[in-house]
Amino acid sequence: MTPEFEEWLTTIHSDKKPGIDALRESEAHFRQLFEMHRDVMLLIDYQSRTIVDANPAAAQFYGYPLESLRGMSVSRINAQQESEIHHQRQKAIAGEQNIFSFDHRLANGDVRTVESHISLVSYRGKSLFFSIIHDITERKRVEAELRIVTAAFESQESMVITDANSVILKVNHAFTKTTGYTSEEVVGQTPSLLKSGRHDADFYDEMWDTLKRTGKWQGEVWDRRKNGEIYPKWLTITAVKGENGVTTHYVGLHIDITERKQAEEKISNMAYHDHLTGLANRALFYDRLQQAGAHLQRNRNRMGMLMLDLDRFKLINDELGHEWGDRVLVEVSSRLMRCVRSTDTVARLGGDEFSIILLDVPSEEFVCKMAEKVITVIGQSLVLKGGHYEVGVSIGICLASSDDQDMETLVKKADAAMYQAKESGRNCYCIFDKNQG
């Protein structure tokens, strides 16, 4: 509003009674300001709710000719509910409020949000609303977007905003909760503060190359919390570009996937480990067997395969029941794990049948001593239901060198040797003899 217009409004609200000439001069002054002003202006008869007059800026804004606006019902342009319009009109008449927000409908059907500054004036002997209208549609849109961005920023997921040089400008509460760092501790730093050391330089080079080419990168990253704990997260980085297309900021969304990774690990463990004993199951056994074969070819050394079958287990299982039989299997598994090296694999293939894969065996004697150790340890007394029980184990052994290509055949040979051990009196071991095949 111009100073001249403010002066005129002061005049028409004054208690002084100006003369006829002064009134004419004031009205002419008003008419000039009214028609020349760039703001949308309406004079409204609030009793009949019709537009008494409108300026050219109003005609341009609403898309109606001035002649059409004059005498038009306000309901043609005001898209608010009638009850709401009435309530706000009463506030304006009482002088309780003079700034209102309305949705106004244009001639082409578009609806714009406007801010209406309403003054109660006397014009040509009649009390009217003098309304100065500003289009605030864009401002409202920006405010709404800002509210959405603010709500999103304070969401349950960690968010980081950096400048173009990756200097942290802002983090949300979820970030501080996840990482353990306060906002003050990270603002001014770079995200490298969180590096766990699990990823090499090539990993980060690829990340930034993709980000610069496409404006976005996402993937699994292992970071370090303030307390030193390393944890997995799913990171999405988006480049924010200015009008000239140059990156001005980066926004990082961090989702802690610790629980998901634990669930995946649990599922994987269930798929590849025996549910009772925790040993490798048949699926993992054959996977490890193929790995052992590849290791054998690379290192040109020897490996050993032991197939084991418990002796007298069925008697205990039948006498004491499956629950106690399961306890025996768990104890046997624990004893087997104490016999082997960390590089070896112990598997339960089913029932009371087990297998051991020995890598990098120096000699046949080494494997035989391993078998003797297993027989001794497994044969130690078991206390079950207050009584002492013993199980034995029959072991078949097969050695393989880098010349042996077929791991399946290795299993069959060790199995044949195991049956030979059973036929030889049980609780002993036999080494596969090619004459057996």
User: What's the first-to-final CA gap in the chain, in angstroms?
Assistant: 106
Q: What is the DSSP string of 35-82?
A: HH-SSEEEEEETTTTEEEEE-HHHHHHHT--HHHHTT-BGGGTB-S-H
Q: Scanning the structure block, which residue is given the tokens 């027989």? A: 375
In this structure, what are the phi and psi dihedrals at residue 170, rounded to the nearest 5 degrees?
A: -155, 140
Q: Is 352 a catalytic residue?
A: yes
Query: Residue 78: what residue type?
Result: N
**Cα 97 to Cα 88: distance, rounded to the nearest angstrom:** 8
The answer to whether 154 and 80 have CB atoms below 8 angstroms apart is no
Residue of 274, 352, 404, 433 marked catalytic:
352
CA 436 to chain centre: 59
The answer to whether 55 and 37 have CB atoms below 8 angstroms apart is yes
In this structure, what are the phi and psi dihedrals at residue 408, rounded to the nearest 5 degrees?
A: -60, -40
Exposed, middle or buried by CB within 10 Å (0-12, 13-18, 19+), for 201? exposed
For residue 142, give every residue at least 6 positions away whose Cβ sits within 8 Å of its Cβ, in sequence order, or none.
Answer: none
DSSP class of residue 192 equals G
**Cα 21 to Cα 141: distance, rounded to the nearest angstrom:** 48
**Cα 374 to Cα 355: distance, rounded to the nearest angstrom:** 12
Alpha carbon distances (Å) from 248 to 150, 159, 207, 216: 19, 17, 18, 14
What are the residues facing 126 on neighbouring strands?
Answer: 123
**Cα 267 to Cα 143: distance, rounded to the nearest angstrom:** 46
**Cα 434 to Cα 437: distance, rounded to the nearest angstrom:** 5
Sign of CA dihedral 224, 225, 228, 232: negative
Active site residues: 352
